[in-house]
């Protein structure tokens, strides 16, 4: 199963449409959290909002995560050793207030933590190649922040 | 000490939960923007406030009122946020009541601090970035939420 999740705030039709179009050639079930996207998917099971409990269940049973370049999904994928393919939201299409998702995509691609597509056409190609050839997770992280950050915050909370 | 940890749902919330070990041995309260997120912090008091982003001013106002009421009622010693709008509002409210306030800018902001983070950095007792190249004299870098 492939789990497509576009975040909780605004629609992301570009991504939903691209995945829906390539879906028939992938020969697997696709479940999608689409946050009121206008595009009506034909080849996937879609939900506007998924509770954290169900979200976890879908996430854990997926063999590949496809997502906007949101940190929640990137972190969850790294934590649970799931391969993830991301398409950054762009401000010029009204998909976000600014282009910080482009920055996120670039730094995490450079670290080789995630697969990135920078436009819909690249997404079509990468989705097929990642799903058929690269389902091994690229990187794994633990469940908490780095010890330095935790210690620094803890000390500051205790300080007078 | 009483700590309020506040963030909107999604990535901001995921980042906030990864800071939880830093809050051990304190009275911990969580605030987010969807009631179903209570299930991610079982055993802790959880408040939900109306969701909003800067595109909808009326919703922001409703969120601000809800956040202010929680801070006034709970009188926390510390308010910490990883973003976005509700966290900034929480820090403003808590600062006005004399609480210690901490902003941890999301790791998503790899090229510059978020707008909320830039605003928060003028108000919060302490502001962190998660990228070493964005640290300044007043914005600290001390690791990130990934480990």
pLDDT in tens, B45-81: 999 999 986 668 899 999 999 999 999 999 999 999 9
Contact present, B83 and B114 (Cβ < 8 Å): yes
Average pLDDT over residues B4-15: 96
CA torsion sign for A140, A51, B103, B107 is positive
Q: Do B80 and A71 touch (CB under 8 A)?
A: no
Q: List CB contacts (< 8 A) between A9 and chain B.
A: 10, 53
Tell me which residue of B123, B40, B57, B58 sits closest to B88, measured CA to CA: B123
Domain range summary for chain B, segments of one domain joined by +: 2-141
Q: What is the pLDDT of residues A51-83, one digit of tens each?
A: 989 999 999 999 999 999 999 999 999 999 999
Q: Do B111 and A141 touch (CB under 8 A)?
A: no
Distance CA A40, CA A28 (A): 19
Q: What is the pTM of this model?
A: 0.94
Identify the pLDDT of residue A101: 97
Q: List CB contacts (< 8 A) between B19 and chain A.
A: 144-145, 149-150, 153
Contact present, A95 and A12 (Cβ < 8 Å): yes
How many CB atoms neighbour CB A131 within 10 A?
A: 20
Residue of chain A nearest B2, judged by CA positions: A157
Q: What is the ipTM of this complex?
A: 0.97
Q: List CB contacts (< 8 A) between A8 and chain B.
A: 9-10, 34
Q: What angle do CA B29, B58, B92 make, to 5 degrees?
A: 40
Query: Where does chain B show beta strands of DSSP type E?
Result: 2-7, 27-32, 45-48, 78-83, 100-104, 126-129, 139-141
Indicate if the pLDDT at residue A131 is higher than 90: yes
Distance CA B17, CA B14 (A): 5
Residue of chain A nearest B16, judged by CA positions: A145
- Structurally, what CATH architecture does the domain formed by B2-141 represent? 3-Layer(aba) Sandwich (3.40)
Q: Which residues contact B132 (CB under 8 A, 6 or more apart)?
A: B141
Q: Do B18 and A75 touch (CB under 8 A)?
A: yes
Q: List CB contacts (< 8 A) between B128 and chain A.
A: 149, 152-153
Pairing assessment for the beta strands B27-32 and A2-5 based on DSSP bridges: unpaired
Indicate if the pLDDT at residue B123 is higher than 80: yes
Identify the pLDDT of residue B55: 67
Q: What is the pLDDT of residues A87-112, one digit of tens each?
A: 999 999 999 989 999 999 999 999 99
Tell me which residue of B124, B107, B130, B37 sits closest to A114, measured CA to CA: B107
Q: Do A157 and B100 touch (CB under 8 A)?
A: yes
Considering just the CA atoms, what is the radius of gyration of chain A in Å?
Answer: 16
Q: What CATH number was assigned to the domain covering residues A2-158?
A: 3.40.50.2000
Average pLDDT over residues B32-49: 96
Both tokens of A67, joined, read 């997502």
């Amino acid at each position: 199963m492939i789990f497509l999740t576009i975040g909780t705030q605004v629609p992301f039709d570009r991504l939903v449409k691209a995945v829906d179009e390539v879906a028939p050639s992938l020969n697997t079930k696709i479940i999608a959290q689409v946050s009121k996207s206008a595009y009506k998917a034909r080849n996937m099971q879609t939900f506007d909002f998924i509770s954290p409990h169900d979200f976890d269940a879908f996430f854990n049973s997926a063999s590949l995560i496809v997502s906007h370049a949101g940190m929640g999904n990137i972190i969850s994928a790294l934590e649970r050793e799931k391969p993830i393919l991301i398409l950054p939201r762009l401000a010029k299409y009204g998909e976000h207030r600014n282009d910080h998702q482009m920055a996120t995509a670039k730094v995490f691609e450079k670290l080789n933590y995630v697969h990135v597509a920078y436009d819909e056409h690249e997404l079509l190609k990468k989705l097929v190649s990642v799903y058929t050839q690269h389902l091994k997770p690229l990187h794994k992280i633990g469940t908490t922040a780095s010890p330095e950050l935790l210690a620094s915050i803890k000390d500051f909370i205790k300080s007078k | 000490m009483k700590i309020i940890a506040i963030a909107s749902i999604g990535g901001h919330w995921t980042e906030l939960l990864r800071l939880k070990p830093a809050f051990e041995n304190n009275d911990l309260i969580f605030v987010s923007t969807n009631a179903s997120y209570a299930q991610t912090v079982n055993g802790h008091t959880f408040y939900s406030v109306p969701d909003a982003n800067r595109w909808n001013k009326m919703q922001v106002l409703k969120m601000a009122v809800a956040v202010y009421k929680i801070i006034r009622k709970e009188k926390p010693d510390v308010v910490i946020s990883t973003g976005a709008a509700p966290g900034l509002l929480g820090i403003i409210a808590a600062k006005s009541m004399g609480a210690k306030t901490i902003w941890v800018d999301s790791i998503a902001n790899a090229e510059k601090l978020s707008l909320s983070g830039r605003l928060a950095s003028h108000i919060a007792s302490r502001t962190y970035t998660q990228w070493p190249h964005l640290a300044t004299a007043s914005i600290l870098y001390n690791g990130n939420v990934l480990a």
